[in-house]
Copies of this chain bind each other. A is one copy, B any other.
C-alpha cells in the first residue's frame, strides 16, 4: 500500500518534471499530451490515469514552481532576525527568484505580451518623465530639509522603483481593487514611506533596543 503510494507520487513527479520542461520550452498550447507521454516513454492515456486533464497538469506545474518560490522566500526570512531584515530578505529573494521563475514563465509571458508591442515605446518615454517628476519632488524635499539626504544614484533608483511599483496597479488582477478603491490607501502608503514604519520607541529613542543594526 505504502509502496504503491510512493510509486504514484514518483510517477506524478516524473510527469510534472517532464511537463515543466516542455511547457517552458514550447509554451502551454504547443505542448500536447502526446508530447509529454512520448517524452515519458509511456502511452498517452497513462497521463489521464494520474491527472484529470491537461489543465490540471499545467496548474500543478505552476503551483509547484510557486511553492518552491515561497519555500525559498520563507527560508530566507527565517534566517533574518529583525523585521526590517526580514523585509529585506523577502524582497531580495523575490527579486532573484523571480528571474529563475521566468525560466518557466518566459514563454507564457511572451504568449501574453506579444500582442502589445506598439504601445510600449510610448509608455517607456512617459515612464521616464514620471521618474523625473518624482525625482524633482524628492530633490525639493531634500532641499527644504523635509527629507533626509540621498545619493543621486539612490534617488534615481528610488524614483524608478516607485514608478515600477506603480505599474503593479496596471495589471488587471483583482487584488489591486483593494488599493485602487480608496484614496486612503495611497495616502497611507506615502505616510509610511515618509515617516517610516520604525516604532516610536526607536524614533524618540533614549537608547532602546536594536541600535546595532542601524547604520
Contacts and interface: CB of A to CB of B under 8 A. Distances in A.
Interface of A: 28, 55, 58-59, 62-63, 66, 70, 73-74, 77, 82-84, 86-88, 90-92, 94-96, 98-99, 108-109, 111-113, 115-116, 118-120, 122-124, 126-131, 133-134, 137-138, 140-142, 144-149, 154, 156-158, 160-161, 163-176, 178-180, 182-190, 192-203, 208-210, 214-215
26 contacts: A70-B133, A83-B144, A83-B147, A84-B141, A86-B137, A86-B141, A88-B186, A90-B134, A91-B187, A109-B170, A124-B175, A141-B199, A144-B209, A146-B215, A147-B198, A148-B197, A157-B179, A157-B185, A160-B178, A164-B176, A166-B168, A170-B171, A193-B197, A194-B196, A196-B196, A196-B197
Given A77-B137, A186-B88, A123 B173 contact: yes
B94 A147 contact: no
Report how many copies the assembly holds. 2
Nearest to A184: B157
Contacts of A185: 95, 157, 161
- Interface secondary structure of A, over-half rule: helix
B137 A87 contact: yes
A165 B163 contact: no
A138 B84 CA distance: 9
Contacts of A86: 137, 140-141
A133 to B, nearest CB: 7
A145 B123 CA distance: 42
A91 B186 contact: yes
